[in-house]
Amino acid sequence: TFQKISPHFSLLKQQKMFKDITDTNTHHLIYFDAFGPRVQPNLWTESVFKIMFDALMPSGVLVTYSAKGSVRRAMQAVGFTVEKLPGPPGKREMLRASKGL
């Protein structure tokens, strides 16, 4: 369901298995807040990032609190342009992955 935040901004929260995501060029932003690669390594693979890459619109962005090198490399391998950013309080760094920039 969509949650309207303001006249020009709404959120769509979905609970799905990655294998069930078929969206293509649909989303502006993905906030990926899974448990880290050490706890859930199956969620930090090239195949999962490819699904998210495909689901994003051109110029779409994926952000995550994980800044691990293997995560960055998996994102880059599927076509993302990846930047390290300062993290929020309690996190040193985070990643922003852009599609088509």
Instruction: Using pLDDT thresholds of 50, 70 and 90, give the confidence band for residue 16.
Output: confident
Instruction: For residue 71, tell me if it sits in a domain.
Output: yes
Instruction: For residue 81, tell me if it sits in a domain.
Output: yes
Residue for token digits 């949650």? 3
Rounded to the nearest 5 degrees, what angle is found at the Cα of 35, between the Cα atoms of 34 and 36?
110
**Number of domains forming the structure of the chain:** 1
User: What does the pLDDT read at residue 84?
Assistant: 96
Interstrand relation of 9-12 and 2-6 (parallel, antiparallel or unpaired): antiparallel
CATH of the domain at 34: 3.40.50.150
Domain with 45 in it: 24-98
Above 80 in pLDDT, residue 1?
no
Please name which of 87, 22, 84, 82 lies closest in space to residue 54, comparing C-alpha atoms: 22
